[in-house]
């Protein structure tokens, strides 16, 4: 499992590298690669605790999607969040990151009864393979099985267009303060 975790973290880290919101969140200095890696590890570990990590059959793709109102051991998140602040965001940026997360939580469905689709990524080797379609179908099947909508956010217009093609609808648009970033909040019902 450790080898699979490392592969997943690498896929997530590579994808995070070009994401405008990630670039806005993480501390910008000469430790950028380490900061991206810390954020990728945090994302993976948080979803693993919530039973929300999905790999494609060829292990070249990963999706992070979990029930948002998960009732498991959320106390385990506290040390990870502290590491995230220290290793990725930076203490000086933590308050601003917390404000943004609070706003995002205020826009998401209040009951938390949805699947939160945090991330989908494929390795460079898997780009032309079946991983994206396989993971999409897996998440959609999970949504139907649990009778839960899927919610997500994206700051990339190209991703928004793809999600719309897959049946997601934008329910809120947010101009992120102090940036030129637009975040689209999207939902797909089962």
pLDDT at 1: 58
| 22, pLDDT greater than 80 | yes
Q: Degrees (nearest 5) of the Cα angle 26, 31, 34?
A: 80
pLDDT tens digits for range 110-123: 999 999 999 999 98
| 91, pLDDT greater than 90 | no
Is position 14 within any domain? yes
Is position 80 within any domain? yes
| 73, pLDDT greater than 70 | no
Direct distance between the N- and C-terminal alpha carbons of the chain, in angstroms, rounded to an integer: 31
pLDDT at 106: 94
In the chain, how many domains are there?
A: 1
pLDDT tens digits for range 29-38: 898 899 999 9
pTM, full prediction = 0.89
Q: Calculate the average pLDDT of the chain.
A: 91
Cβ-proximal residues to 142 (8 Å cutoff; 6+ apart), any chain: 65, 115
| 76, pLDDT greater than 80 | no
| 3, pLDDT greater than 70 | yes
Is position 177 within any domain? no
| 103, pLDDT greater than 80 | yes
Rounded to the nearest 10 degrees, how much is the dihedral formed by the CA atoms of 130, 132, 135, 140? -120
| 26, pLDDT greater than 90 | no
| 126, pLDDT greater than 90 | no
Domain of residue 77: give its range.
Answer: 2-134
Is position 102 within any domain? yes
Is position 184 within any domain? no
pLDDT at 67: 94
Is position 30 within any domain? yes
pLDDT tens digits for range 161-174: 999 999 999 999 99
Is position 158 within any domain? no
pLDDT at 50: 92
Is position 156 within any domain? no
186, β-bridge pairs: 152, 170
Q: How many residues are present in the chain?
A: 190
């Amino acid at each position: 499992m450790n080898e699979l975790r490392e592969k997943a973290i690498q896929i997530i880290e590579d994808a995070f590298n070009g994401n405008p919101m990630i670039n806005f969140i993480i501390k910008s200095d000469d430790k950028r690669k380490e900061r991206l890696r810390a954020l990728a590890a945090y994302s993976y570990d948080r979803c693993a605790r919530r039973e929300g990590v999905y790999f494609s059959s060829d292990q070249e793709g990963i999706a992070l999607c979990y029930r948002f109102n998960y009732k498991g051991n959320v106390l385990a998140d506290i040390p990870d969040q502290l590491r995230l602040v220290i290793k990725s965001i930076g203490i000086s940026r933590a308050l601003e990151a917390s404000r943004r997360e609070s706003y995002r939580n205020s826009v998401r469905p209040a009951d938390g009864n949805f699947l939160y689709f945090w991330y989908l990524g494929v390795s460079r080797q898997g780009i032309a393979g079946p991983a994206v379609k396989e993971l999409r179908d897996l998440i959609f099947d999970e949504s139907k099985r649990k009778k839960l909508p899927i919610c997500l956010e994206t700051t990339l217009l190209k991703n928004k267009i793809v999600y719309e093609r897959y049946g997601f609808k934008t329910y809120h648009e947010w101009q992120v303060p102090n940036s030129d970033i637009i975040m689209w909040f999207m939902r797909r019902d089962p």
